[in-house]
Structures are given as C-alpha cells and as structure tokens.
Amino acid sequence: MTHISPKKILKEAKEGKYSIGAFNTNNLEITQAIIAGAKKLNSPVIIQTTPSAIDYAGLSNIFLIVKNEIDCQKVVAFIHLDHAKDFETIRQAVEIGYSSVMIDGSQLSFEENIQLTKRVVNFAHTRGVVVEGELGAIGKGEGGLTEKNSSLTDPNQAVEFVKRTGVDSLAISIGNAHGAPVGEKIDLDLLSVIAGKVSIPLVLHGSSGLKKRDLKMAIANGICKINIDTNIKTAVIETMRAGLKKPTKDYREIMSQVRIEVEMIVEKYITILGSEKKGKV
C-alpha cells in the first residue's frame, strides 16, 4: 500500500479549513464505491472498518480488499480502525498493517480512558501508527445502539486528556449520535470552545443525521474528520430491496447498482466537506 501519512492528511485539512470524509466499509462493493468517489473528485478519503465489520468479513480479508483497491486505483486514502474498545483488537490491526486506529474508551471513567488510550498510543506510535481517542460519550454507540452513559465533552478535560495521552486526533461528543436519529443537533458553541483549547484535529462521529449546514459549521469550527456510515448502510439496503423486485438471474446486477448508489453518497459528502481536488499524492 502506497504510504500515505494520516497525520499529514488531517493536518492539511485543519490548516485548509476542510474535512476528510471517513466512510465505513464491510465488503468489496462498498470499498470500490468509496474509492471511485474519491478518485472521481480527486479527494483524500479514510476507509474505516469497525470491529463488527472485521467480525463479519475477517481481519485479513477486509484489510487486503481495502489495500488492494487503494493500490490499484492510486488514490490518497488510508485504512482506519474505528471504535476499537480493547487493546487486543488494536494490536491485531496494527500488526496486519493499519496505519490509523481509534481506541474508544468513552464508556470508561476519565482516568481509565486516559490509561487505556495512553497504552494504545505508546504501542502504536512506536510502529508509526496514528491514534484517535474519544472523550465524552455520544448518545448512541456504533451501529446506533444506545450507550449506557452519554455525556458531552468537557473542554478542560479534553486539554488534560490530549496532554496525558498523546493522541493524534480526538473524537468529541457535542450532541452527535450514531444511527442518524431524527432531530440530531450539535452544540457549535461547545465545539468552538473545545477547538480553541485543543490543537490536534477534532473528529465528528455520527454525522449521517446532520444537515449540510451543520456539517459546514462544524468544519468552520474545527472538525477535520467526519464519519459516515448509516447513510451508506441505508442506501445499500434500499437498493437491494428495489433490485429484488425486478427480474434478474444475477445478484451482481443488484450489487453493481449498490456500488453506484454508495459512490453517489461519497461524492455528495466529499463536496460538502470541501475536500474535492485535495487528493495530491
């Protein structure tokens, strides 16, 4: 896989006042769609796999699918492990070749979160891998499931967390939620305060339910990486349902249409996030 520096990509986004789309994948077709959208608009992208995606596809399988597509299509992209909650999952991903990982200790106490995140940072940094941490628990976890505890990110704790852990980027809780809930709103004032205190790139999870204006304002207030998953899953399911109503003897016809629909979503978000034509290798 062509070496792309995740740290450099996010730094350029921060300085350029745009954001990088981080799109979740589970299989070949979704990966191809993400890559196609990025290539068409000459945009850097992050291709993410969650632990549940790894359980579904297999760690080696999904990593090699993403790696091969990036290498063959020659796009500015890297693979990122999203929402790992334990050190062992991180270790396996780093050792197979992930260049970016997220350790999600948001459901732990503040001190426990710091200790786990610091352990991951120490391990990953010695291997040239960047780390995203999370502080504050968003209302719904990965997959749209309700978390036991939800809390907004405390700006002063964010300063201490970054200083003590050494993370490269920070996912924050400002009213965002996974699963694209109706009426999702973010606290831009809180975001502005956090961005004024924390110098590293900030990450927004659960962005599928936010409107274009919300995303633009989030970027203007310091968000450099925006995660999109639910809208992709919804498009896949709706396209498959529509395809099954038509006469076909080949499921590849349906999956080809899935690719087209997901690519359109990727292109839409690249345009909103302002990363178009920023894909210089």
DSSP secondary structure letters along 225-249: EEEE-HHHHHHHHHHHHHHHTS--S
Burial class (CB in 10 A: 0-12, 13-18, 19+), 159: middle
The percent of residues above 90 in pLDDT, for the chain, comes to: 83
Provide the residue type at 197 as one letter. Answer: K
Q: 176-190, 195-209, 246-260: which has the minimum mean pLDDT?
A: 176-190
On the question of pLDDT at 135 being above 80, the answer is: yes
**Can you give the pLDDT at residue 146?**
45
On the question of pLDDT at 243 being above 60, the answer is: yes
pTM exceeds 0.85, yes or no? yes
- Mean pLDDT computed over 150-154: 86
Tens of pLDDT, residue by residue over 29-71, are 999 999 999 999 999 999 999 999 999 999 999 999 999 999 9
Distance separating alpha carbons of residues 38 and 276, to the nearest angstrom: 8
On the question of pLDDT at 109 being above 80, the answer is: yes
CA distances from 138 to 14, 18, 38, 153, 176 (A): 23, 23, 28, 9, 6
The residue with tokens 């349906």 is: 254
**Can you give the pLDDT at residue 208?**
82
Q: 14-23, 81-90, 117-126, 174-183: which has the minimum mean pLDDT?
A: 174-183
On the question of pLDDT at 187 being above 50, the answer is: yes
On the question of pLDDT at 24 being above 60, the answer is: yes
Helices (H), the chain: 6-16, 28-40, 51-57, 59-73, 87-96, 110-125, 155-165, 188-197, 212-220, 230-244, 251-273
Exposure string for 94-103, b = 16+ CB within 10 A, e = fewer: bebebbbbbb
Q: How confident is the model at residue 144 (pLDDT cuts 50, 70, 90)?
A: very low
On the question of pLDDT at 9 being above 70, the answer is: yes
Q: How confident is the model at residue 182 (pLDDT cuts 50, 70, 90)?
A: low
Provide the residue type at 87 as one letter. Answer: F
- Whether 279 contacts 75, CB under 8 Å: yes
CA distances from 166 to 36, 64, 220 (A): 34, 29, 24
**Can you give the pLDDT at residue 111?**
98
Torsion of CA 74, 50, 132, 118, to 10 degrees: -130
Provide the mean pLDDT of the chain: 92
Exposure string for 208-228, b = 16+ CB within 10 A, e = fewer: bbbeeebbebbbebbbbbbbb
Decide which of 141 and 184 is more confident. 184
**Can you give the pLDDT at residue 3?**
67
Question: What are the structural domains of the chain?
Answer: 6-273 (3.20.20.70)
On the question of pLDDT at 224 being above 50, the answer is: yes
Distance separating alpha carbons of residues 52 and 243, to the nearest angstrom: 26
**Can you give the pLDDT at residue 248?**
82
On the question of pLDDT at 281 being above 60, the answer is: no
Catalytic site positions = 82
